[in-house]
Amino acid sequence: MKYEVIVGLEVHVELLTQTKLFCDCPNAFTVKPNQHICEVCLGFPGALPQLNAKAVELALKASLALNCQITRYSWFDRKNYFYPDIPKGYQISQYYKPLGSQGFMEIKNDKGESKYIGIARIHLEEDAGKLVHSQSGKYSLVDYNRAGVPLIEIVSEPELNSPAEARQYLENLKSILQYSRVSDCKMEEGSLRCDANISLRHHGSVEFGEKVELKNMNSFKAVEKALTFEVKRQSKVIDKGEKISAQTRRWEEDKEKTVAMRGKLESHDYRCFVDNELAPIHLIEEDISKAKKELPEMAADRLKKYLNEFCLPAYDAEVLTSSVDISDFFEATLDYYYSPKKVSNWIMSEFLMHLNAEGKNPWETGLTPGHLGELVKLVEEGSISGKIGKEVLEKSYGTGESPKKIVEQEGMTQISDEEQLTKIIEQVIKDNPGPAEDYINGKKKALGFLVGEVMKKTSGKANPQIVNKLLRESLE
Amino acid sequence: MDQWKMGIVEAKEMIKQKKIKPSEMIKSFLARQKETEFLNSFISTFEEESLEEAKNLEKIDEDINQYALAGVPISLKDDHCWKHGKTTVGVKALRNFYPSFLSASAELFDQEGAIVIGKNNMDPWSMNSTTKSSFWGVTLNPWDNSRIAGEGGAASVSAGAAPLALSSDTGGETRLSASYCGLLGLRPTSGRVSRYGIIGFSPSFLQTGLLGRRAEDLSLALEIISGFDIRDALTKVNSTETEEIIPPDEHLIAAVPWEITDQLDSASNNLFQRTVETFTDMGIKVEEVDMPHFNLGLLAYYVISSAEASSTLSRYDGIRFGEAYFTDSLEEWYQQTRSITFGEEARRRIVMGAFCLNEHNYEKYYEKALQVWSLIKEDFYSALKGRHFLLLPTSPTVAPKIKDNNHFIEDYKQNCFCAPVSLAGLPSLSVPSSFSNHLPWGIQLVGRPFSESFLLSLAYKAGKEV
């Protein structure tokens, strides 16, 4: 690369709270406009905001998870601007004292080496409503369902040096926030939004180049593509000896290119000042240590543990840690039956297949970690066959019944008793003289047919290894 | 019935002792309301609604005594959201605003059986204490109809059209009106009374206010409206009276910052000195205190409250609230709507406020004002250290002539003794002190946080002395 690429990201995520930031309206997605509204989130004259403590807790968790300094005494400011989607004519945000600052996140650079990206600030703020423009362009409608939904804005330092690094930063950020249960980070539903700032400069240069702001990227892939496009576009401009103009550009997904939105970067004076309708946020040591305690082990650490301690293949470790729910489920199952690879196999094949088919979360089905542990144990101890195991899993998944009970109730226990099996085998050989003759004459394949017949007679409960052994013995 | 001098305590007793039925009580005040209509002290009146409420109370008869103020009429400043009528806040933009929820303090009165008989005139968003800029015209002072009354509520109580008015006080509206009309006016400690449902412009300084004739009326009223409200983040969980033991009069110490009285005209200066002497006669020791930042308070108040006005009033853009004056472009729509419906004073405050918050001026004005704010708090707290209360004038003059003070700065200056107390967040009671040319004039008793009962008992005693 001829030029050094400098990227900084501004990410907004919606917090996983039950209610909005300053009122009791549900923080939930709905299609019908203006359902989740009240006097507070509509900014009615005389109504006052009431801070949602849960939102502060989540913002604090996010700040801690991203290694930020925590501002013990912070407050909310009013950011003033006119637009119909903000009901009060100002947005309540934290301008002067962000809750978190000077954090960092580890990523791997293009050479696979560790690299730390600075987090400049994390602050709490309320979301705006949505404008719906009419087809004719004659009018616009406003939907305030989203107005007042709690957000945190996470601003990185301009320390990302390639589109790939930017994408990795976003992937890691998403994983950390999902693990901390701060946000579901669904970019397609708008619970994670990302704007990017990008500039180029000659290697070794100290000064930054002119900054271009990129908007309207709807996936991490789109962020990477838009940045890649910009690197090429800006390189060409500089190659020609021309200057990059500071501007805001819009990513057009279908055309795979960025187009200029506004001539200049917006330079609003938001006239921010403290909002004294709200009390300041005063965090004490206890709040911080409690939040710290509640933070789980993050994906990166779990991945290392799965590889080194559990000796799982890389693929298993990656799939299991891709979601905090699956990872938690996996680890909880190990408490019941400690055999990482076996448990992993059952999750990766059977369980995930059912979950993906139904779009369910692992904690939403009848199968608990205790059940799964029990099931794996039954199979490993030879009480049931793998094949029966799959049936049991499906039943437990649907009914919530314990595998042991299912096996008992339905008489699915595997028959391993040689005496019992020998009797059945003798009968099968008697009934099928042809195939038995074939096997003795060297047609080894005929054994499979006979095993199948034994399985049929035992409704699949015969232990296949023992049946194989006994059949061979009695025919040879 | 001599309702002219009647307060809520007396009205309540008469109803309790069945000397008068609630509906008769209401009727007599409604009649007085009609007689004094020329004062223009009400924006809305609720004749039918209040009579119906009174009759409903009569139906439950004996059970009426479970309410503290059953059948007692009160009037409400038009910035308190209410179930009857419109809530206009004195401004054209809200002349047809019917709120969907109630003012917390008015609702507490309602729950105690009090009956709201009307809503009082005010300056747009409480920006002044003259009603000269009200969309509904000026209110006349019952003592001298060529003079302002301050707020409509003060004129109503003073004229006997209501025994008590629930008001609000940002930079001094309740206290100044009390001074102009010869009433008691209380601004409680910040955080004592919920402000939910009061439409204001400056959240840093907005408080509820009470206007009445007698200390015992304000005591009872304050008891009803005090307390924590989850909907107002700044109300205190423990907002009850301080446990501090107040010594007898001869051991009381009052603080007087004599230096600030140079802002009084000579007539008022004499009145103030005489009032201080009255307190000395009661056996109270008076000590001079130094409050070096007091006079900066007015400036800090106007910078901070105007900054807040520039933001708080943004919501009246004609989309959800306020009247819309459509044009093709959104920007012009905002401009036109706000120019037509805000009135001159509000527009001036917005421009001043936006100027002070501008990124080039923020440090020079807004941040400076914040510094003054904390210095003033220190001034007050050190003045009250080892002393029980502070004596201050309420207004620099008696009620100004309606035609006077045409420059807005003169109106601002009327707040010079009240605004600093708003910054301090301390309780302040304006008490009628004396007369100048047959016009009332008041002084402020400023106390430590949550010492309203003490201030009211002091006023009660001083009232007997004067």
Nearest CA in chain B to A52: B233
Please, how many CA atoms are within 13 Å of residue B413, restricted to the half-sphere of its CB? 13
* Residue from the list A46, A51, A273 with its beta carbon closest to the beta carbon of B199: A46
Do A251 and A217 touch, CB atoms closer than 8 A?
Answer: yes
Task: Spell out which residues of chain A touch residue B91, defining contact as CB-CB under 8 Å.
Answer: none
Q: List all residues of chain B from 59 to 88 with a beta carbon under 8 Å from chain A.
A: 79, 81, 87
Q: Determine, for residues A46 and B330 on separate chains, whether the beta-carbon distance falls below 8 Å.
A: no
Question: Cβ distance A160 to A200 under 8 Å?
Answer: no
Contacts of B366 in chain A (CB under 8 A): 273
Which two structure tokens, joined as six digits, stand for A61? 């968790």
Question: Cβ–Cβ of B101/A46 closer than 8 Å?
Answer: yes
Interface with chain A: mutation pick from B166, B231, B235, highest number of A CBs within 10 Å: B231
- Cα B70 from Cα B12, distance rounded (Å): 7
Pick among A79, A271, A278 to test the B interface (most B CBs inside 10 A): A271
Q: Is A273 on the interface with B (CB under 8 A)?
A: yes
What's the whole-model pTM score?
Answer: 0.90
Residue A16 and residue A151 in contact, taking contact as beta carbons nearer than 8 Å? no
CA A312 from chain centre, in angstroms, equals 21
- Put simply, whether A271 touches B (Cβ < 8 Å) is yes
* CB–CB contact A78 B94 (8 Å): no
* Shortest Cα–Cα distance, A103 to chain B (Å): 28
Banded model confidence at residue B326, pLDDT cuts 50, 70, 90: confident
Contact A47/B at CB under 8 A: yes
| Domain ranges, ordered by start, for chain B | 3-225
Closest approach of B333 to chain A, Cα-based (Å):
11
Q: Examine the pLDDT at B240 and tell me if it is beyond 90.
A: no
**Neighbouring residues of B344: CB distance < 8 A, sequence distance ≥ 6:** B133
Q: At B243, is the pLDDT very low, low, confident or very high (cuts 50, 70, 90)? A: low
Residue B466 pLDDT > 70, yes or no? no
- State the smallest CA–CA distance between residue A46 and chain B in angstroms: 4
pLDDT of residue B313 exceeding 80: yes
A88 and B357 within 8 Å at the Cβ level: the answer is no
pLDDT at residue B434, as a whole number: 85
ipTM: 0.94
B317/A80 touch (CB, cutoff 8 Å), yes or no: no
Count residue pairs from A and B with Cβ separation < 8 A.
95
The pLDDT of residue B238: 66
A88 touches chain B (CB under 8 A): yes
Which residues lie closer than 8 Å to A326 by C-beta, 6 or more apart? A319, A320, A347, A352, A362
Give me Rg for the CA atoms of chain B.
21
Is the pLDDT at B19 greater than 90? The verdict is yes
Q: φ and ψ at A259, to 5 degrees?
A: -130, 150
pLDDT score recorded for residue B462: 82
Q: What is the pLDDT of residues A233-261, one digit of tens each?
A: 999 999 998 989 889 999 999 999 999 98
Task: Tell if the CB–CB gap between B310 and A271 is shorter than 8 Å.
Answer: yes
What pLDDT, on the 0 to 100 scale, is given for residue A420?
83
Alpha carbons B255 and B385: distance in angstroms, whole number: 10
Distance from CA of B192 to the nearest CA of A (A): 15
CATH H-level, domain B3-225: superfamily: Amidase signature (AS) domain (3.90.1300.10)
Percent of chain B with pLDDT over 70: 96
Contact status of B314 with chain A (Cβ, < 8 Å):
yes
pLDDT at B1 over 60: no
Alpha-carbon gap, residue A424 to A60, rounded angstroms: 67
pLDDT of amino acid B465: 57
CB contact under 8 A, B330 and A84: yes
Q: B244 pLDDT band (50/70/90 cuts)?
A: low
**Cβ-proximal residues to A438 (8 Å cutoff; 6+ apart), any chain:** A446
Residue among A78, A269, A278 whose CB faces B233 most closely = A278
- Whole-angstrom distance, CA of residue A474 vs CA of residue A432: 14
Which residues on A lie below 8 Å from B230 (Cβ)?
50
Q: The tokens 């009069």 sit on which residue?
A: B249
Which tens digits make up the pLDDT trace of A371-398? 999 999 999 988 888 888 999 999 999 9
Interface contact A48, partner B, CB < 8 A: yes
No. of helices (H) and no. of strands (E), chain A:
16, 16
Work out the pLDDT band at B464, boundaries 50, 70, 90. Answer: low
Put simply, whether A89 touches B (Cβ < 8 Å) is yes
Contact B231 A80 (CB under 8 A): no
Cα distance between residue B137 and residue B393, in whole Å: 28
Q: Mean pLDDT by 10-residue block, N- to C-terminus, for chain A (476 residues)?
A: 92 97 94 94 96 98 98 97 93 97 92 93 97 88 96 97 96 96 92 96 89 94 97 94 91 93 72 96 96 95 95 95 95 95 94 92 94 93 86 92 88 80 86 84 83 84 84 81
Chain B residues with CB under 8 Å of A47 CB are 101, 196-197
Nearest-Cα residue of chain A relative to residue B231? A50
Chain A segment 330-389 residues within 8 A of B by beta carbon are: none
Among candidates B197, B198, B233 on the partner chain, residue whose Cβ is nearest the Cβ of A279: B233
C-alpha dist (Å) from residue A90 to A82, B101, B384: 7, 22, 38
Tell me whether residues A48 and B233 touch, CB distance under 8 A: yes
CA distance B91 to A383: 83
The two structure tokens encoding residue B23: 């509906």
B315 contact residues in A (CB cutoff 8 A):
43, 45, 87-89
Specify the residue for token string 């000579």: B266
CA dihedral B141, B349, B106, B165 (to 10 degrees): -10
Domains within chain A, CATH numbers bracketed: 3-282 (no CATH), 297-409 (no CATH), 418-475 (1.10.10.410)
CB contact under 8 A, B307 and A273: yes
DSSP B260: G
Selection from A196, A195, A197, A199 nearest residue A234 by Cα: A199
pLDDT bucket at B247, cuts 50 / 70 / 90: confident
Residues of A in contact with B119 (CB under 8 A): none
